[in-house]
Amino acid sequence: MKKTKLTPRRAADNLFTYLALIGMSVIFLFPCLWLILASLSKTGSLYDFKGFFPQEYSFQTFIDLFNDDVNGLYPYKTWFFNTLYVATCSAFFGTILVLLTGYVMSRFRFQGRNTIKKTTLVLGMFPGFMGMTAIYIIMTQLGLIDKLESLIFYYSATAPLGYMVQKGYFDSIPNTIFEAARLDGATNLQVFTKVTLPLSKSMLVYTVLTQFAWPWSDVLLPKLLLKDRNMWTVAVGLFNLPETHFARFAAGSVFIAIPIVILYFCLVKHIVNGLTAGSVKG
Amino acid sequence: MKKLTSVMLVLSMVLTLFVGCNGNDDPSGSVDTSDLYNQVMARFTGELEQGAVVKVLENDTAVELGYVEQLIEAFNEAYKDKGISAERMNIDQYSDLATDGPYGYGPDVWYQANDILMKYADNRHLLPLPVYDMECYDQIPQNAWDAYATDMNGEAFYCGIPLNVQSGMLYYIESMLPDNWETKWDVNSNGTPDFFETYTALYAYSELCKEGGEKTKYGYLDETVDTYFMSGYLMTYGAYIFGDNGADARDIGLASGESYKGARLIQQWAGQMNNTEILDTAFSSAAYQYLANGTMLCTITTPDVSRMFIRAMVSTGNWTEEEAAVDLKMITVPRLPISADLTADNWQDTITNMDELTVEMTMMGGINGYGISAYTDYPNASLAFVEFATSYEQAVLRNEYLGVAPARADAAATISETDATVGILFDRLDRGLISIMPAITEIGQLWTPAESFLIDLSTDPYRAERDEELMYDTEEKIQAGLERLVTQIRDAIETLA
Amino acid sequence: MKQKIQNVGHFLRWTPWQVKLSMLVMGLGQLCYGQIVKGLFYLACFGLILTYFITTGFADFIGFFTLGTNEENLWLGIPGDNSLTMLILGLFSIFILIFTVVLYVTNVKDVVYTARQAEQGKPIHKFRQTLETAADDKFHMSALTVPVVGVSIFSILPIVFMILIAFTDLGGDVVYPKLASWSFSAWKKILSLGKIGSTFVKILGWNIVWAICSTALNFIVGLGMALLLDKRNVKGSKFWRAFPILAYAIPGFISMLGFKYMFSQSGPINYCLDQAGLMRIFFLTNDASAKWWARGIGLFVNMWISAPSIMLMATGILSNIDTSLYEAASLDGASGFVQFKKITLPFVVFSTTPVLISQFVGNFNNFGIFFFLREGVISNYADYFLASDTDLLINWLYKLSVDNNYYSIGAAISLIIFLITASLSLMVYVRSAAYKQEDTFQ
């Protein structure tokens, strides 16, 4: 292997590159670090800090997060399991629905396909929360207010609207594979389950991950649909923590951020594939 | 046979008429109630709905400190044989009764501040209550009742029972007082530090603190942009919010009288404090730490947050909880100078000639109380709960747990034997020094324009430092600013109508 | 037209009695042909729909047009109508009506198909065959049923509902229990009244600037990071990549609230400024000087949250570029920068055009960023009506509708937003290379 000579130009380039890298890392790491420090603060108030650093450190807030729900006001444990439930179910149903939709839109040509394409585009342009009053009333008629199932219904039912990414991925699978399967006598259903899905591991992972992650950060809709504090998701609960409980907020955030971050790290490759699928290959 | 039947029918009808007439006699006998009143109150038959579970929505602090749990248990104990019970609703304390109520997701009984409750009363989401029959009716001053008054067909109906009165009080920590205050700062030797008696003296002391050498870094710090507390300055000099005792939204009186003098005082304080943190409403959250760690000597806020101060004091490690409760003190707000200038008079003179040079400060206040939702299935059970919760015993207990002042004269009298501040608040309420927040929906349009104005007003001293143009350096400009504020509020009310 | 009538007449005359039965009562025809399960299914649907219309559907339908006739008076115990509920129930009944028509048509088509089969002597499909068709020929139909129904109820219905509200006078004084009615009052208020109109124009201007700047900034930073990590002299790129991914993984509102506290008046950054002897800066507070600080911080925080995903996407796309192109270019003597401009950039832009467009629309309607960063701030100093100087149209919309119950004006404004974003993006999308090539791609 030919070793490249270290000219001054190269050295400057190296220096500049690494400076940029360090700068980038600091910018992205620093706020997270601050939140972690804040969650370890002993007093729990934001105004007790010496600048960015708490006066004293302790793990007490984390313990309190789970054990002390302040007379039922901040039951973090319940919130966590609520959100886990909603995220898992909506990931399951939502993935099935959006994969089916993406696949159908990719592989089939049928009457009404263009209508669906245009409608989806148009629907995506409406501000998200505009329909919230309507959703609220619909849910009251269905008797689903203050129940987690309302969220699962909503997330799963509206998941297919994001089918473009999945479609892009399926578009990239060569036609020949499908033709071969059909020649072998497979029905369309079998083609989907036995041929397409095994080939789409990346897309599957990406879809499940994005569906799973969304309920953890959605605030507005659950705030509207869930009334009782014991029914709240983590996002609503954290959002409703008053400023005087800042350490609790930080601790709660850190706690849910950690598993999500770990998940993302492990699945980066699939995420990249998924994101690229939304683009067009020239 | 037919004839007999018809005669019997007529007889029975006539008899019922008589019975009905007798029944219309007012049982209390003290107030003449109209037909409309009787019609509206018809649901309150006094018969408790069997098996009713009254859903109670209380405020978060009361829940946090365990008071609500005690209340519910006591009620359930007392009414265990009568077939009704209560439970706490674990939802956000600011329930939107208008959207949740009709679908059955709202509370039956709700404890909140009068402006929030009355917002819903306008559109009849709250029930008017048979107050004349209630045992607390005579104990509560009329201006507290007025906080919950609403009008239908020209008649006044009360949609809530006042339970607590809130207004600004001055907080300080006794051990942070300067050691020599009894000799240097008690000119009239009445046992109260002079800088807590008049604002001029407080200004002088705060200036001293800035020079250094005192126990605290600043004297008086407060956010000068909070409409609730700062409106007191305007009101003492002749302003009012809505005319006709808070009922007429067309008459906005923030620029009337000599309110510009009050505005100038706010500006003076903002300049004196020399700390831009006071220009942000988030300061109120920081205030607990700042008092506890000696950044400031005193601040003005409502009595219901005394626990937050104690918690902050304990967290500094310098006090135990008992020590903190003893060391934290509340006192009535100082008097304002008639000259409307904190530097004009000699502070000693304001103490010796208090009545000639100063005037008591009017402050905005609120009345917290209970309301009953119009969507409740159990009006009688709910009324029973409300009567229980506003009784003498519960009012005293509430003060014990939370430190809030009751609006009932008897409870106030008992508590003020041990805790003078309660007596002070009740006394101020009685004498009209507490201007109760108007209960009409239009009050919602007051806050943001007023806050903008206060921010601009208070930022002026800092603009000078940054070499920017001053906005409110003359009295004319301040008056113009106030009038502009009135126009903005009026526009907002009219646009949204 | 006459031909159509003739066709219909011919159709009615030709078809056997089973078809006519199905046209009367859905499912009867199928039953007569021996398709028990399918027939029962259609019959059951027919029964349900009929019950629905008889019990509430018809009343709801009428209610849609009247929006309530009795005003409720809870104090006197007089029950009444709730306009909002009537609007949505009426809308729902219209949807059911449409659905019934569709179902009816499929029913008739199905029976006709079976009739033809019978006529030609072919075996009539039993349920099993129906299932098989669903899994094979009609796979696209069966697969799309649940998504379409779900989206209709939870997405299309609410949006149509909100569009309709723009044409009522709901809001302000006219809230439950008062009754609403159809009117153009909301539009009149927007187009005529000085306050609302002038605020709208100001906010629209900032909104467009924001959408362009934030999309561009995110794209440049994301692409820049991807290129940086792609450089040959970077060792351990996976390690460096971890930091942006960290920012990407953290739920958005947490980051935004964290930044809000960080930049607050009593927060860490101002504290450090104070310690350094400088004056505290109004970053996000309600002051005129905070206007550009808050906007800048909004751009920065948005970049912090969104650039990593662009970086990841760019990484994937860059790996698709044929490296031989670069080799050829350097052989031709092109410098690094020229290579970037002529090879990399066009390729990336082409690939990401649809994504960029959706990013633009997303940023235009980026509710969260200014909602969490500057909650409750209203800039009266500049005569904004119920909005802050950093609010986007959608934030203003929220303050109007939810905080002040001003539904009809909010709905009207959201319609306007939609028209703007839809036309802008459709214009760009249709002209983009990606769209033109889409169908030739496969």
Tell me, yes or no, whether B146 and B237 share the same domain. Answer: no
For residue A267, what are the β-bridge partners? none
Query: Residues 49-78, chain B: which have Cβ within 8 Å of A?
Result: 60, 63-64, 66, 68-69
Least trusted range by pLDDT, from B142-146, C282-286, C433-437: C433-437
Interface check for C249 against chain B (CB to CB < 8 A): the answer is no
How far apart CA A193 and CA C245 sit, in angstroms, is 32
Which tokens belong to A146?
Answer: 């203050």
Q: How many domains does chain A have?
A: 1
What CATH code is carried by the domain that includes residue C409? 1.10.3720.10
Tell me, yes or no, whether B235 and B356 share the same domain. Answer: yes
In the A/B pair of chains, how many CB contacts fall below 8 A?
A: 60
* Record: contact B280-C266, CB cut-off 8 A: yes
pLDDT of residue B261: 92
ipTM of the complex: 0.85
Q: How many domains does chain C have?
A: 2
Tell me, yes or no, whether B92 and B65 share the same domain. Answer: yes
Q: Which residues of B touch A146 (CB under 8 A)?
A: 105
pTM for the whole structure: 0.83
Residue recorded with tokens 């006739």: C69
- Of C228, C267, C312, Cβ closest to residue A46: C267
Question: Residue B311: is its pLDDT beyond 90?
Answer: no
Domain span at residue C95 reads 2-183
pLDDT tens profile C29-61? 777 777 777 778 888 888 888 888 888 878 888
Which tokens belong to B394?
Answer: 């519960």
Instruction: Give the three-state DSSP class for C399.
Output: helix
Tell me, yes or no, whether C365 and C389 share the same domain. Answer: yes
* Record: contact A45-B293, CB cut-off 8 A: no
Whole-number Cα distances in Å, C83 to B468, C60, C74, C78, C408? 52, 11, 15, 16, 13
The verdict on residue A145 lying in a domain is yes
Tell me, yes or no, whether C123 and C204 share the same domain. Answer: no
Tell me, yes or no, whether C60 and C42 share the same domain. Answer: yes
| Residue B488 DSSP symbol | H
Q: Which of A2, A4, A15, A28 to mutate to test the interface with C (most CBs of C within 10 A)?
A: A28
What CATH code is carried by the domain that includes residue A214? 1.10.3720.10
Mean pLDDT of C416-434: 74
Give the distance between the most distant pair of CA atoms in chain C. Answer: 97
Least trusted range by pLDDT, from B18-32, B467-481, C397-411: B18-32
| Residue C138 DSSP symbol | T
Please give the share of chain B, as a percent, with pLDDT higher than 90: 26
Query: Which of C367, C359, C419, C374 has its CA nearest to residue C393?
Result: C367
Based on its alpha-carbon atoms, the radius of gyration of chain B, rounded to whole angstroms, reads: 26
pLDDT of residue C358: 78
Q: Which residues of C touch A108 (CB under 8 A)?
A: 139-140
Mean pLDDT of B306-321: 87
Which tokens belong to B374?
Answer: 């119009």
The verdict on residue B22 lying in a domain is no
Tell me, yes or no, whether B188 and B298 share the same domain. Answer: yes
C230 neighbors C223 (Cβ within 8 angstroms): no
pLDDT of residue C61: 82
Tell me, yes or no, whether C202 and C165 share the same domain. Answer: no
Question: Which parts of B96-175 fold into alpha helices (H)?
Answer: 97-100, 114-121, 142-146
pLDDT of residue B389: 93
> Closest Cα of chain B to C182: distance in Å?
17
Interface check for C285 against chain B (CB to CB < 8 A): the answer is yes
pLDDT tens profile B367-400? 999 999 999 999 999 999 999 999 999 999 998 8
Contacts for B211-216 with beta carbons within 8 Å, 24 or more apart? B214/B178, B214/B297, B215/B176, B215/B177, B215/B178, B215/B294, B215/B297, B216/B176, B216/B294, B216/B295, B216/B296, B216/B297
Q: How many domains does chain B have?
A: 2
Q: Which residues of C touch A135 (CB under 8 A)?
A: 154, 158
Which tokens belong to C418?
Answer: 């939609």
* Record: contact C367-A129, CB cut-off 8 A: yes
Domain span at residue A187 reads 86-237
Mean pLDDT estimate for chain B: 85
* Record: contact A260-C249, CB cut-off 8 A: yes
* Record: contact B100-A70, CB cut-off 8 A: no
pLDDT tens profile B416-460? 888 787 888 888 888 888 888 887 878 878 888 898 889 888 888
Residue type, B397: L
How far apart CA A39 and CA A247 sit, in angstroms, is 5
pLDDT tens profile C227-237? 888 877 777 77
Mean pLDDT of B283-289: 87
pLDDT tens profile B160-203? 999 999 888 999 999 999 888 888 888 888 888 888 999 999 99
Residue recorded with tokens 């929505």: B57
Tell me, yes or no, whether B258 and B405 share the same domain. Answer: no
Interface check for B290 against chain A (CB to CB < 8 A): the answer is yes
Query: Residues 64-103, chain C: which have Cβ within 8 Å of B?
Result: 73-77, 82, 85
Tell me, yes or no, whether B175 and B136 share the same domain. Answer: no
pLDDT of residue A234: 92
* Record: contact C397-A127, CB cut-off 8 A: yes
Query: Residues 37-96, chain A: which have Cβ within 8 Å of C?
Result: 46-47, 49-52
Residue type, B367: I
* Record: contact B277-C173, CB cut-off 8 A: no
How far apart CA B201 and CA B194 sit, in angstroms, is 6
- Which of B24-33, B385-394, C266-275 shows the highest mean pLDDT? B385-394
Which tokens belong to A204?
Answer: 């599957």
Interface check for A212 against chain C (CB to CB < 8 A): the answer is no
Interface check for B406 against chain C (CB to CB < 8 A): the answer is no
Mean pLDDT estimate for chain C: 81
Interface check for A161 against chain C (CB to CB < 8 A): the answer is yes
Domain span at residue B60 reads 49-159+366-432
How confident is residue A198, by pLDDT bands cut at 50, 70 and 90?
confident
How far apart CA B131 and CA B138 sit, in angstroms, is 10
Instruction: Give the three-state DSSP class for A170.
Output: helix
Q: From C183, C208, C233, give the residue that closes a domain.
A: C183
